[in-house]
Structure 1
Amino acid sequence: MAGKTKPKPVLLSGGNPQIAKSYGDEPVQAYIAAMPGWKSEVGRRLDAIISRSVPGVKKAVKWNSPFYGVEEGVWFLSFHVFAKYIKVAFFRGAQLEPVPPVASKHKDVRYFHIHEGDELDEKQFVDWVKQASKLPGEKM
């Protein structure tokens, strides 16, 4: 229908966009577009870096978070919006060099948090993404 626009996604607790589970670039771009304030620009940058660093990367939105993998259903990274930061999860992060700074209750998972105004070390992030994409992914 001409003139009809899709309703904006609902923002859940902490401002995380509610996007239905689906596969491909389109739902990931919808999630990123719905990220509030400064987080949307950071989300676009993260997505561009990941896409550039891992040609042919697979994408999905699951549990209201974008996921990235080298094969369908097997993921190496995801990110999630919280009120004060974006949490990037490396599912085999304990095997990365250097290990991302934030520990998880899961022994293999490591996190990297991005707060408003943080300067993203793009060289380090690209290195982590490339390393993570070469490790066995997490089936989810």
Structure 2
Amino acid sequence: MSDDDNTGPRLLSGGNPQIPKGEGDGPVQDYIRAMPGWKHQIGRRLDDLIGEAVPQVRKAVKWNQPFYGSGDEGYFLSFRCYTRYVQVQFLKGTSLDPVPPKASKHPEVRYLDIGQDEDVDEAQLRSWIEQASALPGEKM
């Protein structure tokens, strides 16, 4: 297949869309639209849930993933596609109660992996989003 046959963004390993970095909702929506298959619905729901929990959320795409921030500086959450799941990254996850389940090589970061047929505890996820948005953000 030639590059001329591609109709959307290139998908990187695990199906993660390659989206140019940019500030605002537009690049984030471009990313979500490009998420392949079942991952698209998870991305849409995450974006909706974050917007409901943090009405003044600030959005950007950096390093081929959407980032969400509150206040003037820093980000509290991002997510990206992997082959078998969408990974939600809480940048100050060790400060959340309870701490999200998956550790990172970065001391404060914690993850929540959401697979295709996984039931997500949306009340818990919303609580983590609200808690994370109230913490000082990470500058990127």
Instruction: Give the secondary-structure state (helix, strand or coil) at the position aligned to 1:75.
Output: coil
Aligned to 1:90: 90
Percent identity, aligned pairs only? 57
Give the TM-score normalised by structure 1. Answer: 0.93
Encode CA deviations 1:19-61: one digit per residue, 9 max, x unaligned.
0000100110110010000000010000000001001100000
Q: Which runs of 4+ in 1 moved over 6 A?
A: none
Give the TM-score normalised by structure 2. Answer: 0.93
Instruction: Give the secondary-structure state (helix, strand or coil) at the position aligned to 1:139.
Output: coil
Distance in 1, Cα, partners of 2:47 & 2:91: 17
Q: 1:11 to 1:71 in 2, by over 3 A?
A: same
Distance in 1, Cα, partners of 2:91 & 2:41: 23
Aligned to 2:29: 29
Distance in 2, Cα, partners of 1:45 & 1:23: 20
Aligned to 1:109: 109
Aligned to 1:75: 75
Q: Which amino acid aligns with 1:123?
A: A
Q: Which amino acid aligns with 1:92?
A: K
* Structure 2 residue ranges without an equivalent (≥5): 1-6
Distance in 1, Cα, partners of 2:129 & 2:72: 17
Distance in 1, Cα, partners of 2:68 & 2:88: 11
* Structure 1 residue ranges without an equivalent (≥5): 1-6
Number of positions where the alignment pairs a residue of Structure 1 with one of Structure 2: 134
